[in-house]
Amino acid sequence: MGTVATIRSVADLPAIVMPTDLSRVPDPVHASRNLPAGAAVILRDAGHPDRLAFGIALRRSTLAWGQVLLVSGDPALAEALNADGLHVPERMLGAAAVRHWRRANPGRLMSAACHSLTALRRAERAGADLVLLSPVFPTASHPGGRVLGLYRAAALATATDLAVLAMGGIERGNARRLPSQFSGFAAIGKFADSGGA
């Protein structure tokens, strides 16, 4: 099902990431066409009735567009799809299945979701290559929820040597204003239209 991207340096890491969320972006395969080459798509939607078929469609699309495919929370599905890597939800950091996957796939990309300094430290110990730190801004998926805020998130980003991507409430205007502490950003709805990155 294609060649797997091997991560050799920070320069190889994606700076733009689109996690799937079918409730907000019903056609992520189409939306991924708005991403540049080298960007990553994270297959989430764990409750999808045919996640394998969904993943195959995303794998074909990411290969065609020169993008990276990560599978969230399912090392077996990542292997079945020959995905470029694994995305680890914060609750799974340190899980035996994740440790096994990391040992078996040292050259593949592993990203992690983090919401605090404690989670950043757990991601470091787990062997993550990059983290999605959220929520930086208020989000459509959690209206009224607590946010880190830009300054606190930037301070957390400086507390780790991992590449840190800002996530949560990212849209065209604030994506351009992210400070240099961030290696890039992750967004969902931003890519649903043809505006792209």
- Residue 101 pLDDT more than 90? yes
Q: What is the pLDDT of residue 195?
A: 47
- Segment 165-193 shows an average pLDDT of 89
Could you tell me if 154 and 179 are in contact, meaning their C-beta atoms sit under 8 angstroms apart? yes
d(CA 106, CA 141): 33
Provide the pLDDT confidence category of residue 22 given band limits of 50, 70 and 90: very high
Angle between helices 117-126 and 96-104 (to 10 degrees): 50
Q: What is the pLDDT of residue 121?
A: 97
In a domain, 70, yes or no: yes
- Segment 39-58 shows an average pLDDT of 96
CATH, residue 144: 3.20.20.70
In a domain, 100, yes or no: yes
- Domain count for the chain: 1
Q: How far is CA 151 from CA 23, 137, 138, 157, 192, in A?
A: 30, 11, 14, 10, 27
In a domain, 76, yes or no: yes
Percent of residues, the chain, with pLDDT higher than 90: 79
In a domain, 90, yes or no: yes
In a domain, 179, yes or no: yes
Provide the pLDDT confidence category of residue 11 given band limits of 50, 70 and 90: low
In a domain, 82, yes or no: yes
Provide the pLDDT confidence category of residue 194 given band limits of 50, 70 and 90: very low
In a domain, 5, yes or no: no
Structure tokens at 21: 């969320």
Q: What's the domain range around 65?
A: 10-191
Q: How far is CA 24 from CA 49, 124, 197, in A?
A: 17, 30, 18
Give the global pTM. Answer: 0.91
In a domain, 1, yes or no: no
- Segment 6-28 shows an average pLDDT of 83
